Amino acid sequence: GAVVVFVFCCCCSSGVTGENKPIQAFVIPHSHMDVGWVYTIQESMHAYGANVYTSVTEELSKAGDRRFIAVEQEFFRLWWDTVATDSHRRQVRQLVKEGRFEFIIGGQVMHDEAVTDLDDEILQMTEGHGFLYETFGVRPQFSWHVDPFGASATTPVLFALAGFNAHLISRIDYDLKETMQKNKKLQFVWRGSPSLKAQQEIFTHTMDQFSYCTPSYLPFSNSSGFYWNGVALFPDPPKDGVYPNMSLPVTKDTVDAYAHTMVENIKQRAAWFRTNHVLWPWGCDKQFYNSSVQFNNMDPLMKYINQNSKELGVTVQYSTLSEYFQAIYKSNLTWDARGSEDFLPYSTEPYQAWTGFYASRNVLKGVARQASSQLHAAETLFTRYRISFPDGPVAKDWALGKLRALRWAVSEVQHHDGITGTESPKVADMYLQHLTQAMMGVEELLAAMEQHVIVYNPLAWNITNIINLTVTLANAAVFDDEGQPVPAQVRSAHSNGTYDLFIMVELGGLQHRKYLIKFSETSCSGSAKCSWTYEAKRVLFERRSSRYRTRTGRRLLPVLNECYKLMFDQDTNLLHSITYLPEKTTVRMTQDFWEYHANGDVEAGPISDNYIFSASIVRLFSSQEEGDKDYAYSITTRVPECFGTKVQCHRLEQTYSLGPLRLNTEVILRTSSSLKNNRTLYTDDNGYQMMKRPYRNFTSNTFARNYFPMVRAAYIEDDLSRLVLVSDRAHGVSSQANGQVEVMLHRRLWNNLPWNLGYNLTLNDSSVVRPTLWMMLGSVGATSKLYQREATELQHRPVLWQKEPRSSSVHSVVLPPNLHLLSFSIPGWNYSSNHDVHLSHIHSGVDLHSEPDYGRVLLRIMHLFEEGEDPELSKPVTIDFKDVLKGIGEVKAMEERSLTGTWDVSSLQRWKWKTADNSETSKTLHSFNVTISPKEIRTFFIHFSSKNL
């Protein structure tokens, strides 16, 4: 969802390339339907979404040469389930079988690539792919990532692992795209991961400067170009079918002008590519809701061009994306290989760096990650429950319904105008409502499966962690399920009279434990019964104004644990230095909040908005105003004090409170250190891999173009030390000075750009946000062993809920420290693992929706480390699944699948694209033993013994 500007060039190539062949244009009809953005999903379905699929289905059935690609699945699934007639469904099945109606990407949404998490990208793809495979027996093999704001190197890896043969992107830096066009470098083979081999190579097509929309400029008309159906109307479609801005119809009087306009654009595009095949997207946002008008005008236009192809030098044909890529593949050219560099950040003009959305709508970003974490925990727990209690009292259909609702909500918000924060306020409210309603449903499920004060570890590692409960009494004693006292602390009262109770929990992998909390009205200090419960040591600083910043380093207060000595400056309330005790290295370090004051007047210069960050005035800031009662900004730092070696003492946990902000303010946390990092930063791509971000100078807008997305982790380092931050939600991050890392935490903006005002996209976000960062300091070797696990543990913290006791003891499931259990769920899709058998069921009309499959478990496992990152932890790991999963049940059979489960890997033969250094990779499954190499993600169907199910 964004404005696209088209420019025509009169200086175009001739119509003949190589071997005197005419240019072959593949006209790909499509409709770009944002799952959100300006209008809610319900509004979009009503205004145009349902009509797109109804009219396209009817029009394709009328002529055998017509084509259409369906990209995002959420709208299609809503249409299929609630609008489509039996006749429409039969027509779609036939069109899909003929290859004329093609599903592209196949996920629920076209996900954002900058601020989405790996877990959620995989989830939304799996949710869409499962539906398509169960319903039609199809497996998408191409992407159409035309609108995400920049391109991650993780996305092509995931698409390759899902079985895709080619990947398509569009939004990359304007100046880079211009260079690639000029040098015919828009197509290449991408190797997104530096550790994976040929299994993740994928041919990538970058759209040219016209992007995914048909050029709208016509020299003979002021209307919307090749969109004869006009522009969609909200809230209701017009009853007479006449929409605004409908282009002139194609008649004998206009056909020649249309033909020359279309041909000239095709020739211009052809000059930017190596073959004589041109991808010509026909469609744009909210198009094809009246497909009869569209096709009835394009049909005679294409016929006219082909009848005059010798003179015009161009042939045209309706095409699916697979037909275009097959033509490219058959050209048998040798392509450049691109390594693991991504295309982030993204800029459209010299002063339009799309780096603001990394921090837009912090609350939504946090709730989306919280929902994802809760879903992961509920999936693993339900799977354990089904295996252990197949006839248990929790109704399986009810439980699966709760899980599917949260799967849908988490998938939906991954849309590139969802978690990005670039939607209108009512759409942001819609996402939050869907997430919170589904989370409440899953909380009911958790309570039904387990009963007590239960703490559940959703990770397949043994953990020692501190959980936080809000309680109303200051004196509490905590006991485990064996009646033994548990270390706990109470932090003094909040303004509402409640207290924080911190409990140290020890849990095995995928294990839950019961805890009993006993409260007392009076202190039990000195009593043998609860002498081990004590009030948390807490240091309160007086409120300081920024004018005190000149008096530093005179009164330092030490705070120590087994890993660190932190020195706090009592004159400024700020951190002064950290000493990493195991290595006796001290790093000078300060933290403070700064504000960027954004310009909101388009007449006064570049603006900041939902999408764009344009750095303006900067000032140091510690509170809203000198006389204000409440703090605008605060930091709470928890320094874990260890009990033996149990607690992760290297983890400094910081929680911030920010807001409400003044209008046109963007707030950062700036951490300044004595590290000599030369402004080089490392940030993660989607929580999967770390990317080196050297500071780059640009002709203009250098500050904003050196901001990058941090989904889970970022760090700076020098020869001696590395400073790591891991986050509970996405932020923007930068290193603008030596030894410095700044994290953008919150934004509140308004501007007078007519387009933003018209669509209510000005980000007047008055919320108070409370994000969390964990900080670590140490040598490169020490921190490289930790930060992947720390980021994963922050994402998947123990889950807590309460009820009466019932359940039996649960055995733990523990993986080696370099492997992570990415997924352990019961998808419920009802299809045969054998593709031929499944297709025969579909073609024979078997109702596959009658009963979900509760016996098939989907398990994904991921190696956390890159090749060479650590001497030991980067090695391949061999595990015996039968042994690892014995705490859950007896594994009877397992089969390896593609990333989203729809392919048996033994039958998955992806296209091999020629590069100068072709490489090979093969994987063989021997019994229940699996070897997992650095950065691999392996997906399996697991079947447990019938005595378990």
Question: Across the 949 residues of the chain, what is the mean pLDDT of every consecutive 10-residue run?
Answer: 42 48 96 97 97 98 98 96 97 97 98 98 98 96 98 98 98 96 98 90 97 91 90 92 93 96 97 98 96 98 98 98 98 95 95 96 98 96 92 92 98 98 98 98 86 82 86 82 85 73 88 83 51 55 57 82 92 88 93 92 94 79 49 83 64 93 94 97 97 95 96 97 98 97 97 93 94 96 93 92 56 94 96 93 73 95 96 96 94 96 94 81 70 97 82
3-state helix, strand, coil split of the chain in percent (to 5) is: 25, 25, 45
Contacts 24+ apart (CB under 8 A), 242-250: 243/290, 246/293, 247/218, 247/221, 247/223, 247/297, 248/218, 248/220, 248/221, 248/223, 249/297, 250/297, 250/298, 250/300, 250/301
Place of tokens 């478990």: 857
State pLDDT tens for residues 449-471. 775 568 999 999 999 888 888 87
* Separation of alpha carbons 904 and 914, rounded Å: 25
Based on the number of CB atoms within 10 Å of its own CB, is 326 exposed (0-12), middle (13-18) or buried (19 or more)? middle
Place of tokens 């020692």: 464
Place of tokens 């200090």: 525
Residue pair 860/898 in contact by the 8 Å Cβ criterion? no
What per-residue confidence (pLDDT) applies to 452? 56
* Separation of alpha carbons 442 and 400, rounded Å: 10
* Separation of alpha carbons 911 and 902, rounded Å: 17
Treating both helix axes as pointing N-terminal to C-terminal, what angle do 362-388 and 396-412 enclose, rounded to 10 degrees?
150
State pLDDT tens for residues 732-777. 999 999 999 999 999 999 999 999 999 999 899 999 999 999 999 9
Cα-to-chain-centroid distance, residue 556 = 42
Closest listed residue to residue 431, CA positions, set 913, 36, 945, 878: 36
Place of tokens 């997906």: 939
Residue pair 866/194 in contact by the 8 Å Cβ criterion? yes
* Separation of alpha carbons 147 and 113, rounded Å: 10
Residue pair 904/833 in contact by the 8 Å Cβ criterion? yes
* Separation of alpha carbons 733 and 682, rounded Å: 10
Which of 119, 120, 147, 208 is flagged as catalytic? Answer: 147
Q: Which two tokens stand for residue 912?
A: 């091999």
Closest listed residue to residue 135, CA positions, set 843, 931, 888: 843
Q: Which two tokens stand for residue 252?
A: 């004998």
Cα-to-chain-centroid distance, residue 726 = 16
* Separation of alpha carbons 488 and 503, rounded Å: 4
Q: Which residues contact 877 (CB under 8 A, 6 or more apart)?
A: 816, 818, 819, 863, 931, 932
Closest listed residue to residue 116, CA positions, set 432, 425, 417: 417
Name 781's bridge partners: none
* Separation of alpha carbons 212 and 706, rounded Å: 27
* Separation of alpha carbons 778 and 721, rounded Å: 5
Residue pair 779/797 in contact by the 8 Å Cβ criterion? no
Strands 352-353, 454-456: pairing is unpaired
Is the bond preceding 345 in cis, omega lying within 30 degrees of 0? yes
Residue pair 646/464 in contact by the 8 Å Cβ criterion? yes
Treating both helix axes as pointing N-terminal to C-terminal, what angle do 118-136 and 362-388 enclose, rounded to 10 degrees?
60
Cα-to-chain-centroid distance, residue 341 = 18
What per-residue confidence (pLDDT) applies to 479? 87
Q: Which residues contact 777 (CB under 8 A, 6 or more apart)?
A: 564, 578, 580, 587, 650, 721, 722, 723, 724, 783
Closest listed residue to residue 284, CA positions, set 334, 191, 212: 212
Let me know how long the chain is: 949
432 residue type, one letter: L
Which residue ranges form the domains of the chain, and what is each CATH number? Answer: 23-105+140-349 (3.20.110.10), 554-795 (2.70.98.30), 815-910+920-944 (2.60.40.1360)
Place of tokens 């290859």: 99
φ/ψ bin of 46: left (φ > 0), alpha (ψ from -120 to 50), beta (otherwise): alpha
89 residue type, one letter: R
* Separation of alpha carbons 832 and 824, rounded Å: 19
Residue 585: count other Cβ atoms within 10 Å of its Cβ.
14
* Separation of alpha carbons 84 and 259, rounded Å: 35
Strand order in the sheet with 187-191: 166-169, 201-206, 187-191, 337-338
Quick check: is 147 catalytic? yes
Phi, psi of 43, rounded to the nearest 5 degrees: -65, -40
* Separation of alpha carbons 423 and 109, rounded Å: 15
Name 665's bridge partners: 597, 748
584 residue type, one letter: K
Say which DSSP state 581 is in.
Answer: G
Name 931's bridge partners: 878
611 residue type, one letter: Y
What per-residue confidence (pLDDT) applies to 925? 58
Residue pair 142/326 in contact by the 8 Å Cβ criterion? no
Place of tokens 């550790």: 195
How many angstroms separate the first and last alpha carbons of the chain? 46
pTM: 0.94
